[in-house]
Amino acid sequence: MKKNKFYFLLILIIGILTYYIEGYMLTTIFYVLLLIPVLSYASILLTYHGFQVSHEVSKNNIVKGDEVDYTITLYNTNSLVYCPIKLKLESDKILFKHQFESPTIILYPKTEKKIVIPLQCNYRGYYRLGVESVIINDYFGLFSKHFKSLDTIKMIVYPKIKDLMYLPISNINMDKVDNLNEKSMQEQNNISYIREYEKGDTLNKIHWKLSSKYNELMVNQYTGEISSNVNIILDTNRHHYNNELNIVMEDKMIEITVMIINYLLIRNKSISFIFNDVKNVCIEGNDYNDFQRLYEECAILEFVRIFDFGRSLVDYCYKENTENFINSNQYIVISNINDEFIDSLQMLHIQKTKVTIIYVYVDNEKNIKQLEKLKYGDYNLICIPYDMDLDTLVGTSF
């Protein structure tokens, strides 16, 4: 800016002198000064059309906590010296805690320059990295021009995967669910409905006549029987803490969800992952081949809306998948327990199996009364502080 003012002041003074004083030198200087903007913009355009830029991230599969390098490379393939270049990055402020400031780069003939930016991926999520614009200054430092640049790199940071040795389902080990099904089937003669065969179903549940008719295995689901299917229901309500604490809370809920999904799919248990994204979404998995698909969904899942989670739960049960929902094991991962949620649980009238509620909290002082209500209800309640290291859960039950 100071150079611009000096330039315009200089050309004004030379112009006035040229007007009042005749002379070859003054006239020449005046016209040279007039040509400087033209030469400047020509050099800027030449640099813009001549230089090349590429960018890359050092790792493809990035897990929360990883350190990666974001590398930008600028090339001069010509025999000219390019104008000074600065870069403006397009990036998420969460990923770049300290704002990156590009150095001024001069590309000499047949050379390349690399800028390596270390990134600490502290949170899972979907990020965009790229060069938003290129700022090119002319040789005289009088003018500069912003140009749009590269498309962004889409970078996914996956949540950590923790291992569990045991997962409580209505105080019953998952490996014993089938035995319970057999006992229930012997005690109950009423068939609730007939469904397709699932991994883990015993042979004496197969309806052979219908299986022969439809050319696929069909099994009887008995009244009072616990299904081998597990529903994992995540409350995706937006939080109201500061920006960083919101992300920490969301990550903790996602990691718990991934931990349960991983445990069940390794053991070839059928699961349904349910969450609300404008409407209720259900993603099913039958064995560990389905884990990556569910894992990626958890990595990019956003908590951006405020909605009635209890109402959403009831809608899913009664409008979309009532029988399967009621006769399955329920895991609800939630961070806000209120009267509406408790009322919704009571409306579901789930009597055949206990619901397990995993409550992630910052300070549960406000929810003491609600927690007491849940304890008196027939629910498994697990309280996990948001800052608890889930490694402490490895090798134990919740």
* Structure confidence by residue, pLDDT tens digits, 324-355: 555 678 899 999 888 888 888 877 655 455 68
Nearest-CA neighbor of 316 among 234, 237, 256, 255? Answer: 234
Q: Which two tokens stand for residue 100?
A: 């990156």
- Rounded CA-CA distance 167/301 in Å is 24
Instruction: Clarify whether residues 236 and 306 are in a common domain.
Output: yes
Instruction: Clarify whether residues 364 and 262 are in a common domain.
Output: yes
Q: Which two tokens stand for residue 213?
A: 């008719």
Instruction: Clarify whether residues 183 and 128 are in a common domain.
Output: no
Instruction: Clarify whether residues 242 and 349 are in a common domain.
Output: yes
Contact at 8 Å (CB) between 323 and 193? yes
Instruction: Clarify whether residues 272 and 308 are in a common domain.
Output: yes
- Residue 140 belongs to a domain: yes
Instruction: Clarify whether residues 246 and 353 are in a common domain.
Output: yes
For residue 41, the surrounding DSSP H or E stretch is: helix 24-50
Q: What's the order of all strands across the beta sheet hosting 67-76? A: 52-57, 67-76, 111-120
- Rounded CA-CA distance 257/335 in Å is 13
Nearest-CA neighbor of 260 among 398, 62, 58? Answer: 398
pLDDT of residue 119: 87
DSSP-based three-state secondary structure for 102: coil
Count: domains in the chain: 2
DSSP-based three-state secondary structure for 389: coil
* DSSP calls for 313-335: HHHIIIII-HHHHHTSEEEEEES
pLDDT of residue 173: 42
- Residue 45 belongs to a domain: no
Nearest-CA neighbor of 83 among 110, 47, 114, 52? Answer: 47
CATH number of domain containing 117: 2.60.40.10
Instruction: Clarify whether residues 125 and 183 are in a common domain.
Output: no
CATH number of domain containing 389: 3.40.50.410
- Calculate the dihedral angle through the C-alpha atoms of 282, 288, 290, 295, rounding to the nearest 10 degrees: 80
DSSP-based three-state secondary structure for 188: coil
- Residue 272 belongs to a domain: yes
- Residue 364 belongs to a domain: yes
Instruction: Clarify whether residues 179 and 154 are in a common domain.
Output: no
For tokens 């270049």, name the residue: 85
For tokens 């979404």, name the residue: 281
Instruction: Clarify whether residues 280 and 383 are in a common domain.
Output: yes
- Residue 314 belongs to a domain: yes
Instruction: Clarify whether residues 267 and 179 are in a common domain.
Output: yes
Nearest-CA neighbor of 308 among 273, 334, 271, 282? Answer: 334
- Residue 105 belongs to a domain: yes
User: CA of 65: how far to CAs of 93, 96, 122, 187, 386, in Å?
Assistant: 17, 14, 5, 51, 17
Range of the domain at 311: 174-189+227-393
Q: Which residues pair with 156 in a beta bridge?
A: 126
Nearest-CA neighbor of 105 among 130, 132, 88, 87? Answer: 87
Phi first, then psi: give them for residue 329, nearest 5 degrees.
-80, 135
Instruction: Clarify whether residues 127 and 185 are in a common domain.
Output: no
- Rounded CA-CA distance 349/326 in Å is 8
- Residue 194 belongs to a domain: no
pLDDT of residue 89: 82
- Rounded CA-CA distance 14/11 in Å is 5
Give me the residues of the chain with pLDDT under 70, please.
1-3, 92-100, 150, 168-204, 209-210, 213-214, 220-228, 319-327, 348-354, 364, 366, 375-376, 391-398
- Rounded CA-CA distance 237/230 in Å is 22
Instruction: Clarify whether residues 65 and 97 are in a common domain.
Output: yes
Q: Alpha helix locations (H) across 128-203?
A: 177-187
